[in-house]
Amino acid sequence: MSQKKLKLKPDSTPASAQLRALPKRKVRYWCFRFKTEVLEGVPAEGAPEGLRQYFEALEWFSSWEDFAVKWDVRESNPLVIRPLKENPEEVWNQTVLENAVELPTKSSTKLN
């Protein structure tokens, strides 16, 4: 079975040109804002026009709740979703468990 490489036709609409010009940092910022809107109800006003719809139309998009948990944006092209192999929160918790040391405490400390 041969696999065909999918070639996407670049969209030449002004909105997509505007989206392509966004740096990764801004794209991630707005993705976090969209996630916050879904989780906490805080409106993500002022987002670049069409950014939310663009991501929601992508094949690998699952939900805004999954951003930075199950998927993130690609380093080289922030308008492409890349699935995360591991949950960053679980990786952090494991790192803390592996590297944390118990802090010394004085057992004879008197409180008023």
Per DSSP, the three-state class of 66 is helix
User: Tens of pLDDT along 62-71?
Assistant: 999 999 989 9
The answer to whether position 48 is within a domain reads: yes
User: Tens of pLDDT along 27-77?
Assistant: 999 999 999 999 999 999 999 999 999 999 988 899 999 999 899 999 999
Kind and range of the H or E run holding 31: helix 24-40
Dist. CA 58–CA 43, nearest whole Å: 22
The answer to whether position 77 is within a domain reads: yes
Structure tokens at 108: 């004879």
Number of domains in the chain: 1
Domain that holds residue 83: 14-90
pTM of the model: 0.67
The answer to whether position 47 is within a domain reads: yes
The answer to whether position 96 is within a domain reads: no
The answer to whether position 18 is within a domain reads: yes
Q: Which of 16, 79, 68 is nearest to 38 (CA)?
A: 68
Confidence of residue 90 (pLDDT cuts 50, 70, 90): confident
Dist. CA 20–CA 66, nearest whole Å: 23
